[in-house]
Structure 1
Amino acid sequence: MFQSTFKNFNFNFNSSNEGNTVSSGDLLTGHISFDLTKPTKIRSITMSLTGGVRVYWSTGSGKNRRSHSARLTFFDLKTVLQQDQDEAVERPELSPGTHMYPFSCQIPQGDFPPTFNGAHGQVIYVLTVGINRPWHMAKTFQTDLNFVSRVDTSQPDLPLPLSGSNRAKTCNLWCTSGEVTLAARTEKKAFIPGETAKIICDFSNGSSKTATLKVKLQQQQTYYTHNRVSRRTVFKELASEVGDPVAPYTSDQHAEVMITIPSPLTMSITNCSILELEYLIQVSLCVKPCTDVMVLFPIVLCDTPVEARFPF
């Protein structure tokens, strides 16, 4: 059997960084290695480097159930590591033991999204080796590559502050009428995983109920079919902070909330037509059982620190 003939297959990379990540234009070098348990003839060893994205979800149930899917291929490169030049010439068998073959391939230049595995789709980059023997089915070995996109941090809006405000009138059977207001701001738009974001909040609680200030970091995954005829959106809460209770009939309140962005996280994806990955900071003043007063900040998660233009 093939599985007993070939053992301990490994991809060995000459990595140039601690995180073993790859990016657009990188040259991948290294060698593959495997052990043979008996003399074996190999016709060819091929390698392919592929990158792409696929999305899928379903709607409805029973007879009304409908499937949605889409797929894009960014690149599909192939090379030969070893091959018989003349099939008429009998190639000697490889002896039992460890065998190694060097490889070198380059990721194309391009604006490709980072590796991502979401609820209804994936962005994947794969290195595949195929070993072909006479009178045998080809056997493949794969390894996933951790592809990282380089966000253009020179975009003029990334170091600028974000601000927003909202207000609502509370009036129902459980809460005396009164206005609840909220104004919030961040010192910049771009952050990196592990960084702590400062949220400045000014608010008033004109209702008869105690209010609670809450800050959440959310990941928004959006999947599309081609031409964006259909879509599916998924929200995932990544972090949250809760402020001190706000007493009824209080005004001109001020608070600073610090929320840390978890690490690791995939960078924002805005360069793919069928999959988007966005991050939102949600600031809300909650007065139960009334509707929350909310302010949303769309932020950009990147791999390079961005200094605030006007720090608080």
Structure 2
Amino acid sequence: MADEVKMLGLLFDHDQGYSSGEAVSGHVLIELSVPIQIKTIALYVSGCGRVGWFDGSRSQPSGAFNIVLTPFLSHCAEEKEYLCLSKTLLEATGNDDLSFEAGRHEIPFELELPQRPLVSSFSGKHGSVCYSVKAVLQRANHHDQHVCRELPIISHVDVNSPELVCPVSESSEKMIGCSIFASGPVSLKVNIERRGYNNGESVPIYAEIENCSSRLVMPKAAIYQIQTFKARGKTISYKQVVASVRGNHVPSGCSVTWNGKTLKIPPVSPSILNSDILRVEYALAVIVQIPGAKKLKVELPVVIGTTPYNGFGSCSLGVISRFSTGWFPLTVPDTPEAPPNYADVVSQEEFEQHCPPISPSQHSDELERQAAGHAFAYIHEFRFRPPPLYSEIDPNPVECQTVFSV
């Protein structure tokens, strides 16, 4: 009897994800080896969020002389229902069941999601949000047969909303050493053009690192994902780095400016801010690592959205005004590239053809003729002469900028 229904399946019209108010459509697939009688074919859509973890606390057992602390583990768990829908696709009337011939059958379905906001699908360290569609086949004198498939839900976050398009800035300072052994402060100022970004976007970071200490410090930037879970009045968080970039060392007494250093956002889950048991948030942090001391860190909250940024409504002029001290939001490479080698551009044959060797007797005549004529008449003679050798070491070095605190 089990071989009568060879296959029971679910097929969605698209798998990119569904949002509030959209219709979930597709087909229930049935393949039969023999003709059968069916009472109903129903569809159920459900979704819930679940969180849970073991909380370890220590308690003191009874007894005056017993000082051993024993661990006690409690399970913190919470569940929240977000969606519950059902729809009957086919149903027998009266006492007559529905007859299905042997072969393959496709029953179309369409079920509209509610207009209220739904929490995005997510799987995290201590919890998840999961939606599913289940098709149930009922026959007389047989156990119900069903097939279940996960339904991806996306709760759209518009990065063009007014609170997400304005710049965010933060600053911090740390004194290195203590008392009479203090070597000086390290200060950090960070600014980003807006709070809202999408997957695949690059975040331009504007920062100024001033090192008045006696140590060599290293700045870097990172994007953190912060997962927060709540159950039974308790909260637990999990934090992980999803992207990072390093800067150049900052010597003692110097300052370094990031004029739009970019950090690309990898494919990550959008921010989840509409659930009371699970939240997914992001932060952009600029960190200055200081040898022998705690790192200096500035964190700016960011929101990962789902709608494309349209470029309007951004308060980018505020970024310029914040950095009116001399650095503007211009993207400049951190390390300049060396120019091409002269030998790679002009071959030795071309050089000898256009610049034949000049004998000492001809040299004085050539100089007199150039002095008497116009300079532009002889410019072509310098086209194939090599430029000065390139070097990344400045022959006339300038002392790095020294920062004085007032």
Q: Deviations over 1:176-212 (max 9, x none)?
A: 6221111111011100000000111101112222111
Q: Which residue number in structure 1 is paired with residue 294 of structure 2?
A: 291
Partner in structure 2 of residue 44 of structure 1: 40
Equivalent residues of 1:52, 1:124 under 8 A apart: yes
**Residue 81 (structure 2) aligns with:** 73
Q: CA deviation at 1:84?
A: 1.9
Q: Aligned-pair distance for 1:154?
A: 5.0
- TM-score, normalised to structure 1's length? 0.89
CA separation of 1:238/1:92 partners in 2, compared to 1, >3 Å: closer, same or farther?
closer
Partner of residue 247, structure 2: 243
Match of residue 208, structure 2, among 190, 202, 211: 202
Question: Closer, same or farther in 2 for the Cα pair 1:5/1:210, shift >3 Å?
Answer: farther
> What is the CA–CA distance in structure 2 between the aligned matches of 1:6 and 1:248, rounded to whole Å?
77
| Identity rate, percent | 26
Structure 2 residue corresponding to 1:147, chosen from 153, 161, 186: 153
Determine the structure 2 residue equivalent to 1:277: 280
**Candidates 71, 80, 91, aligned match of 1:83:** 91
CA distance, structure 2, for counterparts of residue 140 and residue 167 of structure 1? 62
Structure 1 residues 206 and 7: CA distance shift in structure 2, 3 A: farther
Q: Distance in 2 between matches of 1:304 and 1:140?
A: 36
Return the alpha-carbon distance in structure 2 between the equivalents of residues 20 and 168 of structure 1.
Answer: 47
Instruction: Pick the structure with more strand per residue.
Output: 1
- CA–CA separation in structure 2 for the residues paired with 1:193 and 1:7: 42
- The two structures, once aligned, show a CA RMSD in angstroms of 2.1
SS at match of 2:316: coil
Aligned residues: 301
What residue in structure 2 maps to residue 13 of structure 1? 12
* Whole-angstrom CA distance in 2 between matches of 1:92 and 1:178: 85
Structure 2 letter corresponding to 1:279: Y
1:123 Cα deviation after fit: 1.3
Give 1:75 shift: 2.1
Within the candidate set 100, 107, 117, 1:111 is matched to: 117
Please tell me whether Structure 1 or Structure 2 has the larger radius of gyration of its CA atoms: 2
- SS of residue in 2 equivalent to 1:7: strand
Offset at residue 102 of structure 1 (A) = 1.5
Mapped to 2, the partners of 1:35 and 1:65 lie a distance apart of 49
Deviation per residue, 1:49-100 (Å, 9 max, x gap): 11221111111188611111111112211111122222x33x3653321112
Q: Using the alignment, how far apart are the partners of 1:97 and 1:27 within structure 2?
A: 29
How far 1:39 moved relative to its partner?
3.2
Query: For residue 52 of structure 2, what is the aligned residue in structure 1?
Result: 56
Between Structure 1 and Structure 2, which shows a larger proportion of helix residues? Answer: 2
Aligned residue type for 1:100: E
Which residue is 1:26 aligned to? 22
Displacement over 4 Å in runs of 4+: none
TM-score by length of 2: 0.70
What is the SS of the residue equivalent to 2:177?
strand
